[in-house]
Protein backbone atom coordinates (compact mmCIF):
# COMPACT_ATOMS: atom_id res chain seq x y z
CA UNK A 1 0.00 0.00 0.00
CA UNK A 2 1.12 3.55 -0.78
CA UNK A 3 -0.29 6.30 1.43
CA UNK A 4 -0.19 9.85 0.05
CA UNK A 5 -1.22 12.85 2.14
CA UNK A 6 -1.51 16.50 1.14
CA UNK A 7 -2.11 19.60 3.25
CA UNK A 8 -1.82 23.36 3.03
CA UNK A 9 -0.05 24.10 6.32
CA UNK A 10 -0.72 27.86 6.24
CA UNK A 11 2.86 28.53 7.34
CA UNK A 12 5.00 25.63 8.54
CA UNK A 13 6.39 27.54 11.52
CA UNK A 14 2.95 28.56 12.72
CA UNK A 15 1.63 25.03 12.22
CA UNK A 16 4.44 23.61 14.36
CA UNK A 17 4.01 26.25 17.05
CA UNK A 18 0.29 25.59 17.40
CA UNK A 19 -0.55 22.69 19.70
CA UNK A 20 3.14 21.96 20.21
CA UNK A 21 3.53 18.68 22.07
CA UNK A 22 -0.19 17.89 21.94
CA UNK A 23 -1.62 14.80 20.31
CA UNK A 24 -3.45 16.87 17.67
CA UNK A 25 -0.45 18.93 16.49
CA UNK A 26 1.17 18.70 13.07
CA UNK A 27 4.34 17.07 14.43
CA UNK A 28 2.28 14.30 15.98
CA UNK A 29 0.16 13.99 12.86
CA UNK A 30 3.25 13.55 10.69
CA UNK A 31 4.74 11.03 13.10
CA UNK A 32 1.66 8.86 13.44
CA UNK A 33 -0.19 9.16 10.11
CA UNK A 34 2.32 6.77 8.53
CA UNK A 35 2.19 8.35 5.08
CA UNK A 36 4.74 7.31 2.46
CA UNK A 37 4.46 10.69 0.73
CA UNK A 38 3.34 14.01 2.22
CA UNK A 39 2.94 17.13 0.11
CA UNK A 40 2.85 20.58 1.67
CA UNK A 41 1.64 23.93 0.39
CA UNK A 42 2.05 27.44 1.78
CA UNK A 43 5.22 26.39 3.59
CA UNK A 44 6.18 30.08 3.75
CA UNK A 45 9.65 29.40 5.14
CA UNK A 46 13.18 28.93 3.77
CA UNK A 47 14.85 25.55 3.44
CA UNK A 48 16.90 26.08 6.59
CA UNK A 49 13.67 26.35 8.59
CA UNK A 50 11.66 23.56 6.94
CA UNK A 51 14.29 20.82 7.00
CA UNK A 52 15.06 20.93 10.77
CA UNK A 53 11.34 20.92 11.57
CA UNK A 54 10.73 17.66 9.66
CA UNK A 55 14.15 16.10 10.27
CA UNK A 56 12.92 13.72 12.97
CA UNK A 57 10.32 12.26 10.62
CA UNK A 58 12.99 10.67 8.43
CA UNK A 59 11.44 11.97 5.22
CA UNK A 60 13.47 13.00 2.21
CA UNK A 61 12.55 16.59 1.33
CA UNK A 62 12.31 18.49 -1.94
CA UNK A 63 11.16 22.07 -1.54
CA UNK A 64 10.91 25.29 -3.50
CA UNK A 65 10.59 28.70 -1.92
CA UNK A 66 9.04 31.79 -3.44
CA UNK A 67 11.22 34.72 -4.42
CA UNK A 68 8.93 36.84 -2.24
CA UNK A 69 9.93 35.95 1.31
CA UNK A 70 7.20 34.59 3.54
CA UNK A 71 4.94 33.69 0.62
CA UNK A 72 3.81 30.42 -0.98
CA UNK A 73 6.32 27.54 -0.94
CA UNK A 74 5.57 23.89 -1.79
CA UNK A 75 7.30 20.67 -0.78
CA UNK A 76 7.21 16.90 -1.19
CA UNK A 77 8.28 14.63 1.68
CA UNK A 78 8.87 10.98 0.83
CA UNK A 79 10.08 7.85 2.61
CA UNK A 80 11.88 6.75 -0.55
CA UNK A 81 14.64 8.98 -1.85
CA UNK A 82 13.49 10.70 -5.05
CA UNK A 83 15.36 9.87 -8.22
CA UNK A 84 14.75 13.38 -9.59
CA UNK A 85 12.75 16.52 -8.98
CA UNK A 86 11.70 19.57 -10.98
CA UNK A 87 10.61 23.07 -9.99
CA UNK A 88 8.14 25.29 -11.82
CA UNK A 89 6.13 24.93 -15.00
CA UNK A 90 8.60 25.87 -17.77
CA UNK A 91 7.09 29.35 -17.67
CA UNK A 92 9.33 32.18 -16.52
CA UNK A 93 6.51 33.87 -14.63
CA UNK A 94 6.20 30.93 -12.25
CA UNK A 95 9.83 29.79 -12.09
CA UNK A 96 10.41 31.22 -8.61
CA UNK A 97 6.81 31.53 -7.44
CA UNK A 98 6.98 28.62 -4.98
CA UNK A 99 3.82 27.11 -6.45
CA UNK A 100 4.80 23.91 -8.29
CA UNK A 101 7.28 21.13 -7.54
CA UNK A 102 7.53 17.57 -8.87
CA UNK A 103 9.28 14.65 -7.18
CA UNK A 104 9.91 11.30 -8.89
CA UNK A 105 9.45 8.75 -6.12
CA UNK A 106 10.43 5.09 -6.70
CA UNK A 107 7.79 2.49 -5.87
CA UNK A 108 8.24 -1.03 -4.53
CA UNK A 109 7.63 -2.63 -7.95
CA UNK A 110 10.44 -0.64 -9.53
CA UNK A 111 8.22 1.92 -11.24
CA UNK A 112 8.34 5.63 -10.51
CA UNK A 113 5.54 7.90 -9.32
CA UNK A 114 5.67 11.58 -10.27
CA UNK A 115 4.23 13.48 -7.31
CA UNK A 116 3.25 17.11 -7.82
CA UNK A 117 2.69 19.54 -4.95
CA UNK A 118 0.87 22.59 -6.30
CA UNK A 119 -0.49 25.79 -4.85
CA UNK A 120 -2.70 27.48 -7.43
CA UNK A 121 -3.07 31.28 -7.10
CA UNK A 122 -6.26 32.33 -5.34
CA UNK A 123 -7.23 34.86 -8.00
CA UNK A 124 -9.80 37.63 -7.85
CA UNK A 125 -12.58 37.90 -10.39
CA UNK A 126 -12.09 40.52 -13.12
CA UNK A 127 -8.66 41.62 -11.93
CA UNK A 128 -5.06 40.96 -13.04
CA UNK A 129 -4.83 38.43 -10.21
CA UNK A 130 -7.43 36.30 -12.00
CA UNK A 131 -5.50 36.58 -15.26
CA UNK A 132 -2.43 35.27 -13.42
CA UNK A 133 -4.49 32.33 -12.14
CA UNK A 134 -5.60 31.43 -15.66
CA UNK A 135 -2.02 31.60 -16.93
CA UNK A 136 -0.97 29.23 -14.15
CA UNK A 137 -3.81 26.83 -14.96
CA UNK A 138 -2.86 26.97 -18.65
CA UNK A 139 0.71 25.99 -17.81
CA UNK A 140 -0.49 23.28 -15.40
CA UNK A 141 -2.70 21.82 -18.15
CA UNK A 142 0.25 21.59 -20.51
CA UNK A 143 2.36 19.88 -17.87
CA UNK A 144 -0.39 17.43 -16.89
CA UNK A 145 -0.77 16.44 -20.54
CA UNK A 146 2.96 15.68 -20.66
CA UNK A 147 2.98 13.67 -17.43
CA UNK A 148 -0.12 11.75 -18.45
CA UNK A 149 1.32 11.03 -21.86
CA UNK A 150 4.55 9.60 -20.47
CA UNK A 151 2.90 6.29 -19.59
CA UNK A 152 3.95 6.34 -15.93
CA UNK A 153 2.10 7.01 -12.70
CA UNK A 154 1.38 10.61 -11.72
CA UNK A 155 -0.55 12.37 -8.96
CA UNK A 156 -1.31 16.07 -8.74
CA UNK A 157 -1.82 17.05 -5.12
CA UNK A 158 -2.37 20.29 -3.31
CA UNK A 159 -4.43 23.39 -2.76
CA UNK A 160 -5.86 24.04 -6.21
CA UNK A 161 -8.14 26.90 -5.11
CA UNK A 162 -11.07 25.78 -7.28
CA UNK A 163 -14.23 23.97 -6.30
CA UNK A 164 -15.04 21.83 -9.32
CA UNK A 165 -18.78 21.27 -8.79
CA UNK A 166 -21.66 22.40 -6.61
CA UNK A 167 -20.84 19.48 -4.32
CA UNK A 168 -17.49 21.06 -3.51
CA UNK A 169 -18.71 24.29 -1.86
CA UNK A 170 -21.38 24.50 0.82
CA UNK A 171 -22.48 28.01 -0.25
CA UNK A 172 -22.01 27.54 -3.99
CA UNK A 173 -24.90 29.84 -4.93
CA UNK A 174 -23.25 32.75 -3.15
CA UNK A 175 -19.94 32.15 -4.96
CA UNK A 176 -21.00 31.87 -8.59
CA UNK A 177 -19.24 35.11 -9.53
CA UNK A 178 -16.28 34.78 -7.19
CA UNK A 179 -12.79 33.35 -7.73
CA UNK A 180 -12.69 29.69 -6.82
CA UNK A 181 -16.01 28.83 -8.45
CA UNK A 182 -16.00 30.70 -11.75
CA UNK A 183 -17.14 28.69 -14.79
CA UNK A 184 -13.85 29.37 -16.59
CA UNK A 185 -11.87 27.97 -13.64
CA UNK A 186 -14.02 24.89 -13.35
CA UNK A 187 -13.65 24.26 -17.09
CA UNK A 188 -9.95 23.51 -16.57
CA UNK A 189 -10.90 20.61 -14.32
CA UNK A 190 -13.40 19.39 -16.90
CA UNK A 191 -10.58 19.28 -19.42
CA UNK A 192 -8.19 17.50 -17.06
CA UNK A 193 -10.78 14.80 -16.38
CA UNK A 194 -12.63 14.51 -19.68
CA UNK A 195 -9.86 15.18 -22.20
CA UNK A 196 -6.61 14.32 -20.43
CA UNK A 197 -8.03 11.35 -18.52
CA UNK A 198 -6.87 12.33 -15.03
CA UNK A 199 -9.14 11.24 -12.14
CA UNK A 200 -10.36 13.15 -9.10
CA UNK A 201 -9.57 10.34 -6.66
CA UNK A 202 -11.24 11.86 -3.61
CA UNK A 203 -14.50 12.47 -5.48
CA UNK A 204 -14.48 8.99 -7.01
CA UNK A 205 -14.16 7.39 -3.59
CA UNK A 206 -16.50 9.77 -1.73
CA UNK A 207 -19.29 9.55 -4.29
CA UNK A 208 -21.97 12.12 -5.10
CA UNK A 209 -22.08 13.81 -1.71
CA UNK A 210 -21.48 17.30 -0.36
CA UNK A 211 -17.77 17.72 0.29
CA UNK A 212 -16.09 16.21 2.17
CA UNK A 213 -14.64 19.68 2.59
CA UNK A 214 -10.96 20.41 3.20
CA UNK A 215 -10.94 24.16 3.94
CA UNK A 216 -12.94 26.35 6.30
CA UNK A 217 -12.43 30.01 7.08
CA UNK A 218 -10.81 30.74 10.42
CA UNK A 219 -13.41 33.46 10.92
CA UNK A 220 -16.93 33.05 12.21
CA UNK A 221 -18.64 29.67 12.54
CA UNK A 222 -17.63 28.17 9.19
CA UNK A 223 -15.77 25.25 10.77
CA UNK A 224 -18.45 24.53 13.36
CA UNK A 225 -21.24 24.53 10.77
CA UNK A 226 -19.12 22.73 8.14
CA UNK A 227 -19.55 25.62 5.68
CA UNK A 228 -16.43 24.61 3.81
CA UNK A 229 -14.82 24.21 0.41
CA UNK A 230 -13.25 21.12 -1.15
CA UNK A 231 -10.24 22.74 -2.79
CA UNK A 232 -7.47 20.29 -1.81
CA UNK A 233 -7.15 17.44 -4.27
CA UNK A 234 -5.39 14.26 -5.27
CA UNK A 235 -5.83 13.94 -9.03
CA UNK A 236 -4.19 10.83 -10.48
CA UNK A 237 -3.42 9.20 -13.78
CA UNK A 238 -6.00 6.50 -14.60
CA UNK A 239 -3.98 3.40 -13.72
CA UNK A 240 -2.95 4.84 -10.36
CA UNK A 241 -6.45 6.13 -9.62
CA UNK A 242 -7.85 2.65 -10.22
CA UNK A 243 -5.78 1.35 -7.30
CA UNK A 244 -7.09 3.90 -4.76
CA UNK A 245 -8.90 2.16 -1.91
CA UNK A 246 -9.65 4.86 0.66
CA UNK A 247 -9.70 8.64 1.03
CA UNK A 248 -9.91 10.46 4.36
CA UNK A 249 -10.04 14.11 5.36
CA UNK A 250 -8.27 14.46 8.71
CA UNK A 251 -10.63 17.12 9.99
CA UNK A 252 -9.76 18.44 13.45
CA UNK A 253 -12.06 17.42 16.29
CA UNK A 254 -12.69 21.06 17.21
CA UNK A 255 -11.86 24.58 16.04
CA UNK A 256 -9.33 24.91 18.88
CA UNK A 257 -7.43 21.83 17.66
CA UNK A 258 -6.78 23.14 14.15
CA UNK A 259 -3.20 23.84 13.14
CA UNK A 260 -4.20 25.13 9.69
CA UNK A 261 -7.31 26.44 7.98
CA UNK A 262 -7.02 23.34 5.74
CA UNK A 263 -7.32 19.68 6.73
CA UNK A 264 -5.05 16.96 5.32
CA UNK A 265 -6.42 14.77 2.55
CA UNK A 266 -5.06 11.22 2.81
CA UNK A 267 -5.44 8.57 0.08
CA UNK A 268 -4.34 4.93 0.11
CA UNK A 269 -3.28 3.32 -3.18
CA UNK A 270 -2.84 -0.44 -3.57
CA UNK A 271 0.40 -0.35 -5.58
Query: Average pLDDT in the 233-249 region?
Result: 98
Confidence of residue 20 (pLDDT cuts 50, 70, 90): confident
Query: Average pLDDT in the 141-157 region?
Result: 96
Confidence of residue 145 (pLDDT cuts 50, 70, 90): very high
Confidence of residue 149 (pLDDT cuts 50, 70, 90): very high
Query: Average pLDDT in the 96-124 region?
Result: 97
Cα–Cα distance for residue pair 192/220, rounded to 1 Å: 34
Confidence of residue 1 (pLDDT cuts 50, 70, 90): very high
146 three-class SS? helix
Number of domains comprising the chain: 1
Confidence of residue 23 (pLDDT cuts 50, 70, 90): confident
Query: Average pLDDT in the 251-268 region?
Result: 96
Tell me whether the omega of the peptide bond preceding residue 151 falls within 30 degrees of 0, making it cis.
no
- Res. 127: pLDDT tops 90: yes
Is residue 5 within 8 Å of residue 37, measured between CB atoms? yes
| Nearest residue to 211 via CA among 202, 219, 222, 201 | 202
Residue 216 makes CB contacts below 8 A (sequence gap 6+) with: 222, 223, 226, 227, 228, 229, 261
What count of Cα atoms within 13 Å lies in the side-chain half-sphere of residue 30?
26
Query: Average pLDDT in the 12-33 region?
Result: 92
Is residue 144 within 8 Å of residue 198, measured between CB atoms? yes
Query: Average pLDDT in the 79-106 region?
Result: 96
**Phi, psi (degrees; rounded to nearest 5) at 218:** -75, -10
Is residue 8 within 8 Å of residue 232, measured between CB atoms? yes
pLDDT at 56: 87
Report if pTM > 0.85: yes
pLDDT at 49: 95
- Res. 22: pLDDT tops 90: no
Confidence of residue 214 (pLDDT cuts 50, 70, 90): very high
* Four-residue CA torsion sign, 197, 201, 202, 205: positive
- Res. 35: pLDDT tops 90: yes
pLDDT at 175: 94
Owning domain of residue 72? 2-269
Tell me the per-residue pLDDT of 163-203, one tens digit each, with 9 for 90 and over: 999 999 999 999 999 999 999 999 999 999 999 999 999 99
pLDDT at 24: 86
* C-alpha distance from residue 94 to each of 44, 46, 161, 238 (Å): 16, 18, 17, 27
Mean of the per-residue pLDDT values for the chain? 96
pLDDT at 43: 98
Is residue 153 within 8 Å of residue 271, measured between CB atoms? yes
Name the strand (E) or helix (H) holding 116.
Answer: strand 112-119
pLDDT at 167: 98
Q: Domain holding 197: CATH number? A: 3.60.10.10
Amino acid sequence: MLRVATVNVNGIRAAYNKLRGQSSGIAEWLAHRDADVVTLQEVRAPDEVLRPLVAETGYHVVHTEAAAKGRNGVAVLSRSEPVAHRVGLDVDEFADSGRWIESDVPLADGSVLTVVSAYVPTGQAETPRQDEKYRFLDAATTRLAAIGGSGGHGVLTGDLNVGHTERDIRNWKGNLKKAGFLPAERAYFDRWFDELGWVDVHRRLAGDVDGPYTWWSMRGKAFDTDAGWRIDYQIATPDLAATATAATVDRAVSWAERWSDHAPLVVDYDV
